[in-house]
Amino acid sequence: MGNIRKKTNKNPPVLSHEFVIQNHADIVSCVAMVFLLGLMFEVTSKFAVLFITVQYNVTISTNGPDETAVNHFHHGIKDLATVFFYMLVAIIMHAIIQEYVLDKINRKKHFSKTKHSKFNESGQLSAFYLFSFGWGASILLSENFLSNPVTLWEGYPHTLMPFQMKFYFICQLGYWLHAVPELYFQKTKKEDIPRQLVYIFLYLVHIAGAYILNLNRLGLVLLVLHYFVELLFHVSRLVYFSNENRQTGFTIWAVLFVLGRLLTLSLSVLTVGFGLATAENQGFDLAAGNFNVIFVRITVLAAICLTQAFMMWKFINFQLRRWREHAQAQTLKKKQVPSKSKSKKDKANGVNGVNSHAADSPRARKEKSS
């Protein structure tokens, strides 16, 4: 009798969990395409524009011989629709990077399951941090925020933003919101989900807080600083996965991490604690976007300080774990060295595998007696 092989259905049932996970990028692309197609028809274009374009445009005429109109933007409830659309874009970009870059490298390197998930995480975040750092730094240079730190609090509330700055914050919120469904799409382990949710929540709270409270200038500076340090860490981890002897990047990151925390606290206290506290425009005015009251200032500083303390606590635990692992590895090496030297001595005492004690064997004693 011949062997009867069961036919396996490689394609999962439609709308099952596995089907959604395997085809989530295509499904999301179709949803995004619906909004783009909506721009082509007059009936739906007004609705589609809410999701695709940046809202709340304000045109300001500059004073001078050549009067020019400058477009600025403020925030509002309609921004939620725009954030949702760019969350879909982030899911699509995540899938493209995963399929066409990271999966190809994984197939060549043959990582273990643990390294595979960490490599994917660092690969995705490295691409995002590099893009966000470059984009944010270009905005800081074009707006001259670095050359004149007083602009971080001068003229508060900063209700009007240039297009690049507002779009930057929209994309940041969209990216970190997309990280929540990605936990499902990437089949994240249950034990890793709480850790992921904590830092996603912290990113969303701080970015949305800076955006809503009109602290966008301070928020942009702190994001660029933070993203640079995080970029260095994840690039160092990618290099470490390719060659475990290359750990110099972690040392540089450790120094910059501590400096980054100190600089973050210094800028926050300088801007919120001193700059806004001595500003002329004091008071709470929701319509004008003014939140310069002592309760808000203390809350903002407390949130920043607690977050920095939490990050330092995680950093210290990470370094202690690395030192313990290094110490254990050194101890094992020291234990192996004496055993190796002992085996060499045993081999040296014998010739062709025969010990000097062979002379005391029963056969040798018999020959001596005879």
pLDDT in tens, 292-323: 999 999 999 999 999 999 999 999 998 898 88
346 band by pLDDT with thresholds 50, 70 and 90: low
Considering the domain architecture, whether residues 154 and 277 belong to the same structural domain is answered as yes
What does the pLDDT read at residue 6?
44
Nearest CA among 53, 54, 47 for reference residue 72: 54
Cα separation of 163 and 161, whole Å? 6
- 317 plus 198 within the same structural domain: yes
113 located within any domain: no
Mean per-residue pLDDT, 243-265: 92
DSSP annotation of 11 = S
**Angle, nearest 10°, between helix axes 163-185 and 79-97?**
60
The larger pLDDT score, comparing residue 155 to residue 360, is at 155
Least confident of 1-15, 62-76, 199-213: 1-15
Residues 217 and 316 grouped into a single domain: yes
Q: Are 321 and 173 contained in the same domain?
A: yes
**Any domain includes 24:** yes
Q: Is residue 5 domain-resident?
A: no
CA 277 to CA 281: how far, in whole Å?
A: 9
| Pairing state between β 283-285 and 57-61 | unpaired
pTM here is 0.85
pLDDT of residue 242: 85
Residues in the chain: 370
The per-residue pLDDT for 351 is 45
* Together in a domain, 172 and 272: yes
Burial-class residue 64 by CB neighbours within 10 Å (0-12, 13-18, 19+): exposed
Local confidence band at 337 (pLDDT 50, 70, 90 cut-offs):
low
Q: How confident is the model at residue 349 (pLDDT cuts 50, 70, 90)?
A: low
Residues 207 and 172 sit within 8 Å (Cβ to Cβ)? yes
- Residue with the bigger pLDDT between 118 and 69: it is 118
Contact 277, 269 (CB under 8 A): no
Please tell me the total count of domains within the chain: 2
Q: For the residues 180-186, what does the mean pLDDT come to?
A: 95
35, 85 in Cβ contact below 8 A? yes
- The stretch 98-126 carries a mean pLDDT of 90
Is 56 a member of any domain? Answer: no
Query: How many angstroms separate the CA atoms of 221 and 168, rounded?
Result: 12
H-assigned helices in 213-293 = 216-242, 248-268
Q: Is the pLDDT of residue 143 over 50?
A: yes
Condensed to tens digits (0 to 9), the pLDDT of residues 273-299 reads 999 999 888 999 999 999 999 999 999
- Give residue 28's domain range: 17-49
Which residues are CB-contacts of 340 (< 8 A; sequence separation ≥ 6)? Answer: none
Q: Which comes out higher in pLDDT, residue 137 or 116?
A: 137
Integer Cα distance of 165 and 333 in angstroms: 54
Domain presence at residue 102: no
Query: Does some domain include residue 77?
Result: no
Which is nearest to 133 in space by CA: 94, 168, 166, 103? 168
Q: Are residues 293 and 167 in the same domain?
A: yes
Over its C-alpha atoms, the chain yields an Rg (Å, rounded) of 30
The pLDDT assigned to 370 comes to: 45
Please report whether residue 364 resides in a domain.
Answer: no
- 42 with 144, same domain: the answer is no
Q: Are residues 28 and 169 in the same domain?
A: no
* Domain final residue, candidates 49, 66, 92: 49
Asked whether residue 166 falls in the same domain as residue 293, the answer is yes
pLDDT-wise least confident of 57-66, 300-309, 331-340: 331-340
Whether 25 and 166 map to the same domain: the answer is: no
Q: Is residue 31 part of a domain?
A: yes
Q: What is the pLDDT of residue 176?
A: 98
Residue 66 confidence (pLDDT) above 70: no
Query: Does residue 353 carry a pLDDT above 50?
Result: no
3-state DSSP assignment of residue 40: coil
Same domain, 165 and 275: yes
What integer is the mean pLDDT of 25-39? 96
Per the CB < 8 A criterion, the answer to whether 355 and 349 are in contact is yes
**Among candidate residues 51, 42, 47, the one with its CA nearest the CA of residue 86:** 51
Q: Which band of pLDDT confidence, cut at 50, 70 and 90, is reported for residue 89? A: very high
Give yes or no: residues 177 and 44 share one domain. no
Residue 76, pLDDT > 90, answer: yes
Q: Reduced to 3 DSSP states, what percent helix, strand and coil does the chain have, rounded to the nearest 5?
A: 70, 5, 25
Of the ranges 108-122, 126-140, 228-242, 340-354, which one carries the lowest mean pLDDT score?
Answer: 340-354
